[in-house]
A and B are shown apart, each in its own frame.
Chain A
Amino acid sequence: MNPAPMVALVGNPNAGKSALFNALTGARQKVGNYPGVTVERKAGRMSLPDGRPIELIDLPGTYSLDPASPDEQVTRDVLFGKQEGERLPQAILIVVDATNLDNHLRFALQLIRLGLPVVVALNMIDMAERDGLTIDAARLSAELGVPVIPTVAVRKRGIDELKAAMAALIADSGVRRIAAGPGLVQEDIVVLQRRARAIAIGATRQEQGARRWSHRIDAVALHPVGGPLLMAAILFVMFQAVFAWAQAPMDAITALFDAIGRWVQTTLPGGFLRNLLTEGVIKGTGAVVVFLPQILILFFFILLLEATGYMVRAAFMMDRVMARVGLSGRAFIPLLSSFACAVPGIMATRTIDDPKDRLTTILIAPLTTCSARLPVYTLIIGACIPARHVLPGIGLQGLVLFALYLLGTMGALVAAWVLRRTVTKGPSQGFMMEMPRYQMPSLRDVGLGLWTRCLIFLKRAGTIILLSNVILWVLASYPVAPAGQKQTEYSIAGRIASVIEVVVKPIGFNHNIALALPPAMAAREVAVSALATTYAIDAGDSAGNDAAEAKTDQALGSKLKLDWPLPTALAFLMWFVFAPQCLSTIAVTRRETNGWKWPAFMVSYLFVLAYVAAGATFWIATWAGL
């Protein structure tokens, strides 16, 4: 059977492409990657009115076929049938913003010239009406020579008409070769722009309208004093919510995993399998899945900031600050995303055109405090930092947590400054960005985005994190120590840790920390479950029998309190501010930079930084008599 015909969805950034994609395909989407590059491939299934299936692929937004960033390169290659692992599309669905026709039509003209069957979605027609613009779609269609369908993707208006037009398009065409190829797009952009402007003016009637409400919001959001305050307030609410809103669902997840653990404990006969399931699989995975609510809340805010158009305003305000360390405001968006997770953060650097800016941003992204570090911080702070108030309303524990976040951010900025003057030296390319109008985000679009993130995270928890927990558990449980010997010293993992201990002893780390460091490389949050496992195994339950009971965070916390002197705890926190990046971050860096050189550099410089920072902290704290 032939595969379903493929239609490519193309348009300028901010044309409402993703909303249209969601409206056409619903939840039937698959997000993957193109081979060799990390540009996400978003494809979805839709059916035409006559029931025929179509594969719709959402190409990265771009201003022209002359690519400036890796994202835009993919769009061009797919349209020319040159993208590895991708079929040549049978037709193009072009999205243009009705309120910004003169700019968007230029790209549309360029696309129409490729010679593939085309239908144009004249999107955000409601916004245009609100702006007092009347657009003659029939005239536009006559000028362009292709069907033009007015749509409002976020309200699902015009979708049926669009599907009908696509059906007509697919009916009378097989796959057509592109007439000439790259030569076609060499045409002077200025000439095309002038033509686009003439067509736009011809098809648009402007009544004096009450537009500019976006401008009025900006008068507040970009106000010299109010703007930064508002941004600080938004960020504060965001980080506050990550802690406050997540508590209840996190408790529920913990309870769920405890219940599963108890059920297995009572159902299965004692032995290797039961121990592996309760300690390695259930405890280990549960310790990580519990952070799903926090990660989703953080992503919720980031998706919301992006969908409303505020993110670009934040980049605009922060450009000057980023310029100080040799970056541009564009780098602010990936760095902010990195507070959720460095992996999507690093992937978001694709929108930075300048290769050196982009590389620098990738290299410093792991320094921002990602959500996986949170469980480690929470555990150690809860165990070792006294819960007293420094000032009324300001607790010492909260202050330490804030300081750790601040330290990571400062570290990232300083690292950028140094890198920009040494390894990634080069002239600054400046900052230039379209500021889209503000938009009411569609909850459905945000919901779909969260759902995708949720699946990615659970897949990770079910594979790499689960695997590393199981491996650690087996290595830490075997061979079984004879009486009088400590299991965590005698086991395979214990012996490996003894070697590492030699290296990390000077910075105040003990044997059990050395044991937790390698698995924390798989994913940072595994450090918590790794410590839990080692202390539980040591608690005297020879091969870890019934240890599941004792492995609650509180129990672990009180053990750490007894076992770790304060300088050790502080050094451990400092280590986590700078050092161990998870394997996923290293893998995504390798993919993004096309080789092992930069990930190797990143890992080395971060380890050196972490070792020095943790060591200095340990010795200063010891000297100060803490």
Chain B
Amino acid sequence: MRLDQLPLNRPARVLAIAWGELADTAARRLRELGLDEGVTVEALHVAPFGKDPIACRVGRMTVALRRAQAHAISVEALAA
């Protein structure tokens, strides 16, 4: 499953990130914001207009990103 398809409030683990699908600056920002394989993420909110971007918990941070960018991140939902 990709991060943009993950239902809200369901913790998941990042399996892989397709860095090549992201623009250079976006890829670097994502790394700086702590996105990495093995990290726990959880989608928390969606923006009101057009349900895009989404806000996700990454570690102890909340990070906003567009669905197109979230699509580059493969995740696996964790058992609740």
Q: What is the interface of chain A, defined by CB distance below 8 A to chain B?
A: 63-64, 66, 68, 99-103, 106, 189-190, 193-194, 197, 214-215, 218-219, 222-225, 227-228, 312, 315-321, 323, 329, 353-354, 427, 429-437
Binding site for A on B (CB under 8 A): 23, 25-26, 28-34, 36, 44-50, 52-53, 55, 59-66, 68-69
Knowing A222-B48, A319-B47, the reply to whether A430 touches B60 (Cβ < 8 A) is no
30 contacts between A and B (CB under 8 A): A64-B32, A100-B59, A103-B33, A103-B61, A189-B28, A190-B36, A218-B44, A218-B45, A219-B45, A223-B48, A228-B48, A228-B49, A317-B48, A320-B50, A320-B52, A323-B66, A329-B53, A329-B64, A353-B29, A354-B25, A429-B26, A430-B66, A430-B68, A431-B66, A432-B29, A432-B33, A432-B66, A433-B65, A434-B62, A437-B62
Cβ–Cβ < 8 Å partners of B23 in chain A = 427, 429-430
Q: A103-B33, A320-B52 are in contact. Are A68 and B25 (CB under 8 A)?
A: yes
Which B residues lie within 8 Å of A99 (CB)? 60
- Known contacts A329-B64, A429-B26, A432-B63; can you find 19 more A-B pairs with CB under 8 A? A190-B36, A193-B34, A197-B59, A214-B62, A222-B47, A227-B48, A315-B64, A316-B45, A316-B53, A317-B47, A321-B49, A329-B53, A353-B25, A354-B25, A429-B23, A430-B65, A430-B68, A432-B30, A434-B63
> Contact: A193 with B48, CB < 8 Å?
no
From residue B62, how far is it (CB to closest CB) to chain A in Å?
4
A427 to B23, CA, bound (A): 9
Residues of A within 8 A of B59 (CB): 100, 102-103, 197
- Name the one of B33, B49, B69 contacting A320, with C-beta atoms under 8 angstroms: B49
- Binding site secondary structure of chain A: helix
Chain A residues within an 8 Å CB radius of B49: 228, 317-318, 320-321
Residues from chain A with Cβ under 8 Å of B44 in the complex: 215, 218
Chain A residues, Cβ within 8 Å of B65: 430-433
Q: Which residues of B contact A354 (CB under 8 A)?
A: 25
Inter-subunit contact A190/B31 (CB<8 Å): yes
- For B29, list chain A residues within 8 Å (CB): 63, 68, 353, 432
Kindly state the separation between the CA atoms of A317 and B50 in the bound complex, as whole angstroms: 10
Residue of B nearest to A133 (CB): B60
Residue of A nearest to B49 (CB): A320
- For the complex formed, measure the closest distance between the CB of A62 and the CB atoms of chain B, giving whole angstroms: 9
Q: Chain B's nearest CB lies how many Å from the CB of A354?
A: 7
Q: Which of A103, A190, A228, A427 contacts B60, CB < 8 Å?
A: A103
Q: Closest residue to B57 on the A side, CB-wise?
A: A215
Complex Cα–Cα for A190 and B17 (A): 13
Q: Which residue of B lies closest to A222 (CB)?
A: B45
Query: Once bound together, how far apart are the Cα atoms of A601 and B76, in whole Å?
Result: 50
Give the residue of B33, B34, B55, B68 whose beta carbon is less than 8 angstroms from that of A316: B55
Known: A102-B60, A312-B64, A320-B47. A222 touches B53 (CB 8 A): no
In whole angstroms, what is the CA distance A66 to B36 when docked?
18
Complex Cα–Cα for A225 and B59 (A):
28
Q: Are A434 and B33 in contact (CB under 8 A)?
A: yes
The residue in chain B whose Cβ has the minimal distance to the Cβ of A66 is: B28
The 8 closest A-B pairs by CB, nearest first: A63-B32, A320-B49, A435-B62, A320-B50, A222-B45, A224-B48, A432-B29, A103-B34
What is the CB-to-nearest-CB distance from A495 to chain B, in angstroms, rounded to a whole number?
54
Contacts of B69 in A (CB 8 A): 430-432
Contacts of A430 in B (CB 8 A): 23, 26, 65-66, 68-69
User: In the bound complex, what is the Cα–Cα distance between A197 and B25 (angstroms)?
Assistant: 23
A12 vs chain B, min Cβ distance (A): 9
Distance between Cα atoms of A354 and B49 in the complex (Å)? 23
Complex-state Cα separation, A103 to B69, whole angstroms: 20
- Closest chain A residue, CB of each to CB of B62: A435
Q: When chains A and B are docked, how far (Å) is the Cα of A353 from the Cα of B24?
A: 11
Q: Which residues of the partner chain B approach A329 to less than 8 Å between Cβ atoms? A: 53, 64
Question: Which of A194, A315, A354, A435: most chain B Cβ within 10 A?
Answer: A435
Question: What is the minimal beta-carbon distance from A50 to any residue of chain B, in angstroms?
Answer: 38
Q: Which residues of B contact A323 (CB under 8 A)?
A: 52, 66
Collect the chain B residues with CB atoms within 8 Å of residue A312's CB. Answer: 64
| Bound Cα distance A68, B52 (Å) | 24
Question: When chains A and B are docked, how far (Å) is the Cα of A321 from the Cα of B48?
Answer: 10
Kindly list chain B residues whose C-beta atoms are within 8 Å of the C-beta of A197. 59
B55 cross-chain contacts in A, Cβ below 8 A: 218, 222, 316, 435
* Max chain B Cβ within 10 angstroms of own Cβ: one of A64, A190, A429: A429
**Nearest residue in B to A221 (C-beta to C-beta)?**
B45
Other-chain contact of B64, A194, A223, A435, A437 (Cβ < 8 Å) = A435
CA separation between A319 and B30, bound complex, in Å?
A: 18
Query: Provided the pairs A429-B26, A435-B55 are in contact, do residues A189 and B31 lie with their beta carbons within 8 angstroms?
Result: yes
| Cα distance A622–B32 in the bound complex, in angstroms | 59
Q: A64-B32, A432-B65, A433-B63 are in contact. Are A225 and B48 (CB under 8 A)?
A: yes
Q: Are A434 and B48 in contact (CB under 8 A)?
A: no
Contacts of B48 in A (CB 8 A): 222-225, 227-228, 317
